[in-house]
Structures are given as C-alpha cells and as structure tokens.
Amino acid sequence: MLAILLPLLQASAQNPDATQVMMKCRDLSITGSMTGKMNLIITEKNGSIRNRTLSMTSKSYEGGLEKRLIRFLEPADVRGTAMLIIDNRDIPDEMWIYLPALKKTRRIVTSEKGKNFMSSEFSNADMSSPALSDFSFKYINTDRSGDQWVIESIPASDDKADEYGFSRRISYIDKDSYQTKKMEFYGFDNHLFKVIEIRDVILLRDGKYMIRDMAASNLLNGRKSEIVFSYLSEGTDIDDSVFTLRNLER
C-alpha cells in the first residue's frame, strides 16, 4: 500500500498546486505594454503560403483589460486596414475595424474566444490571456525528463468548452522559467487536433517574457500558422490616445 502511495505523495510534495503554476505562468506572460512588427504566415496543406505583415501595439490595464491596435502593412491590397481590439475579461470583446478603401469604420461585437485569429490556426483565446476561472487544472505526469510540468486544463463548463472550442488542453511548462513550451488541444472525443509550439521568447525583467516565434499546427486540416515578430519592444510608454477611433482611421 505504501509502495503504491509513496510516488504520489512524493509528486504531491514536489509540485506546487497546478492552478498556482498556471497562474504564475500567466502572470509572467502578461506585459504592461508593447509595440512590434510581426509576420503572420499561414501555410496550407497543399504548401501554398499566405504572408501578412502587421504592426501591433498593446497595453494592459488593471482589472485584466487589454487594448490592442493592429495595422496591416502588407500585402498592398489591404495596407492601412486596421483593427482596434478591447479585450475585456468578463464581457464580450469589442473590435473596431477600419477599411481605408471604403473609408469606413465598423464595430464588430463578438464573444467567441475559440474563433480563429485573423483566419489563422491561432484562436482569439491563444492571442490573449484567458481567465483562470474558466478552467480547472491538474497534473499529468507524462514528462520523463522531469524538467517540465505537464498540466491539463479542462473548461469549467460545457458552455466554456463550446466557447473555447476544445475539451482539454495539455500545457508543457518549463519548471525553471515557468514558460509555456507547448500546448496540445483535444477535441470532444479526446482526439488531438491542434498543437502550439513556442519556438522563441524574449526575456524581460522579473522573469517575464514575450513570445517572439510560435507555430500552430492543425492536425485536422493540415494547415500551419506561424507568428514571428521581427521587431518587439516592451515597456514603452504608450499613450492611451493610440487606442482611439481617430487614431484607427489615421
């Protein structure tokens, strides 16, 4: 009996609570403000590639509010198209989009966190920091090397599962840096359908970090999406006026 229980007791003694790990991991990945230039590369199953260059500016506020301004730089057809996203913690996100060719700004109201981010394999939730209360967490000890925590996140309710679009997610978190290295997403009959790999990060002060290069592979449709930052600046003082409709239409 003791022989059976001992490993479990040891594991319990060594590992902090899974929710605490996820909380620390989330806190380290949230930055106050940043500006950057990135490429969103979508590779279809047949090998055709679509590349968009975007500039992005974001700022976090107290209470979990986050604002982002994304502007298209390439391709030429959509140059100047811009989005202003207000990422609310508990109420549906708000999004404004400016279409320069039509000289129109429209507000889009959408509440689906599982929806694809700009038609890529990343979801809107992957691009933000979802509330921890939306999930329950537990360890899965499958990592042999012992330098990663393997934590399973399960949506707190059926509604949340519908919203996020998966039944469980397994995160591989580095024990030293609390950085997420990989996430696996499982469908509702427990099939693995998406894998996100964090390929490169920029280390900031106090252990915080920003993702510079990540890839999402959809195992169902064979598509792959990559986000690669060519320029990234953190902690710059960004004026609130950046996140206004006037600036969006500039």
Partner 1 sequence: MFITTGTVSLLIIPGIKTDPDIRNYIPKSIGSRAETDKIESEFGVQDMIMILFSDGTMVSRENLDNIRKIDRSVSRISGVGDRISPFTVKSIKSEEGMMVVEPLIRIIPSDTAGQRKLGKEISENRFAENIVFSHDLTSAAITATLSNMVPERLNLQKIDSVINTETGNLKILRGGLPYIRKYLLEEVNRDAIILIPAALVIMLMVLKASLGTWHSVLLPFGIVFVTTALSMALIPLLGWKMSIITVLVPVILIAVANNYGIYLVARFQELVLRYPDLTKKELIRLLLGTLNMPILFSGLTTISGLLGLMMHSIIPARQTGILAAAGVSAALLMSLIVVPVMIYVNNIDKFIRKKKTRTTERFEKFLGMISEIIIARNGLILAVSLSIVIMSGSGILLIKINTNQENYFSDKHPVREASKMINSRFGGSQTISVMIESDILDPGVLNGIDNITKWTESQDGVGNVFSISQIVREMSKVIYTKDEYGYDRIPDTREGIAQMFELYNMSGNPEDYRRLLNPSYTKAHILIKLARPENDVIKLVKSGIGELSKGFPGKVTTGGYALIMTDFANSIIRGQIFSLLFAVVTVFLLLSIVFRSFKGGITGSVPLIASIIVLLGFMGFSGIELDAATALLSSIMIGVGVDFTIQFIWCYNLTVNSGLSFTEAVPEAMRTIGRSIIINALVVMSGFAALIFSGFTSIRFFGYLVIISIGSCLLGALIVIPAILVRYRPGFIGFKTNKTSENEKTNVYAGYPSATVAGVGTKS
Residue closest to 26 by CA, chosen among 207, 190, 186 = 207
Residues 200-229 that bind partner 1 (CB under 8 A): 220
Q: Is the bond leading into 75 cis (omega within 30 degrees of zero)? A: yes
Q: Using the rule CB under 8 A, which residue among 17, 27, 44, 147 binds partner 1?
A: 44
- Go through 75-94 and write b for each residue having 16 or more CB atoms within 10 A of its CB, e for each that does not: eeeeeebbbbbbbeeeeebe
Residues 2-31 that bind partner 1 (CB under 8 A): none
DSSP H stretches of helix in 78-189 = 158-164
Q: Using the rule CB under 8 A, which residue among 107, 203, 235, 236 binds partner 1?
A: 107
- Residues 6+ away with beta carbon under 8 Å from 87: 65, 66, 67, 68, 93, 128
Q: State the minimum distance, in angstroms, from the CB of residue 95 to partner 1.
A: 7
Residues 61-90 that bind partner 1 (CB under 8 A): 72, 75, 77-78, 81, 83
Binding to partner 1 by CB under 8 A, coded x per residue (else -) over 157-186, reads -x---x----x-------------------
Task: Give the separation between CA 240 and CA 130, rounded to whole angstroms.
Answer: 23
Q: State the minimum distance, in angstroms, from the CB of residue 24 to partner 1.
A: 32
Task: Give the separation between CA 80 and CA 229, rounded to whole angstroms.
Answer: 19
Does 250 bind partner 1 (CB under 8 A)? Our answer is no
The angle formed by the CA atoms of residues 194, 166 and 129, to the nearest 5 degrees, is 85
Q: Using the rule CB under 8 A, which residue among 55, 116, 244, 247 binds partner 1?
A: 116
The binding site for partner 1 (CB under 8 A) comprises 42, 44, 48, 50, 72, 75, 77-78, 81, 83, 95, 97, 99-102, 104, 106-111, 115-116, 118-119, 158, 162, 167, 187-189, 191, 193, 220
